[in-house]
Amino acid sequence: MTKSELKEFLDSKVEQYNNPKFIESDPIQIPHQFSLKEDIEIASFLTASIAWGNRKMIIKNGERMMSLMGHAPYDFVMNHKASDLEKLNGFVHRTFNDIDFKYFIKALKHIYTNHNGLEAVFNTDSTFTQHTISNFKTIFFELSHEQRTTKHISDPLKGSAAKRLNMMLRWLCRADKNGVDFGIWKSINPSQLSCPLDVHSGNVARKLGLLNRKQNDAKALLELDTALRNLDSSDPVKYDFALFGLGVFEGF
């Protein structure tokens, strides 16, 4: 395909998948339960943090996270006592367990109390968000923590594509007119966002000639981001809908 043909094809797939029906089978349905900004962003962060593996299990465990916090994540984060954290005992999603969950709650309270909240921590003047994600990890682990928990926050500056955090940023920052992404974080322009690169989007991108690198790492993300920005510099991550939809729903 020529560049114009490729753009036309991908734009049609964005239109096909970037609509409320997408929510029904996607983990983004968890933060869509809420209306308070802080509830949405905390639910987005926690859900995205466990977003690997079977999608139905991600949604099930994301819902369990919200239930364990009384379906009031911001209130739970800010007002929990040590005894409340015992409610999280036994939670597990693949390698993410109750030790990690408890620390995440403490770290979120630390961020809202001492760093003006999640959006402020991710606020960036950088052209891209990868340095911001790395800085977020540093702030997130300012409290005493077990080493095992650090693996659940990716660092792009150490070679990670940071798929889950880039997905969260798409949810919270992208100005979506179709009711899927929230667009409640105004401090990051959608043009700065990176594609949530995973096995599905990566494989489709390679078949379409958007990506040559075989590993789904930070270098591959830069290559894919560059290609997607050449198609739409103002909203490059809208193509995540196309790449993911083609891979998951169409077996492209």
Q: State how far the alpha carbon of 45 is from the alpha carbons of 50, 118, 137, 243, 249, in Å.
A: 9, 9, 13, 22, 25
> Are 29 and 23 in contact, with CB atoms under 8 Å apart?
yes
What's the pLDDT score for residue 128? Answer: 77
What's the pLDDT score for residue 211? Answer: 98
Structural domain span for residue 232: 3-248
pLDDT in tens, 26-53: 999 999 999 999 999 999 999 999 999 9
Coil/strand/helix, residue 183: coil
Phi then psi for residue 96, to 5 deg, are -90, 120
What's the pLDDT score for residue 127? Answer: 74
* Tens of pLDDT, residue by residue, the chain (252 residues): 899 999 999 999 999 999 999 999 999 999 999 999 999 999 999 999 999 999 999 999 999 999 999 999 999 999 999 999 999 999 999 999 999 999 999 999 999 999 999 999 998 777 778 899 999 999 999 999 999 999 999 999 999 999 999 999 999 999 899 999 999 999 999 999 999 999 999 999 999 999 999 999 999 999 999 999 999 999 999 999 999 999 999 988
C-alpha span between 99 and 148 (Å, rounded): 9
How many C-beta neighbours within 10 Å does residue 34 have?
A: 20
**Count of domains for the chain:** 1
Looking at the DSSP bridge assignments, the partners of residue 96 are: 93
> Are 145 and 119 in contact, with CB atoms under 8 Å apart?
no
**Global confidence as pTM:** 0.96
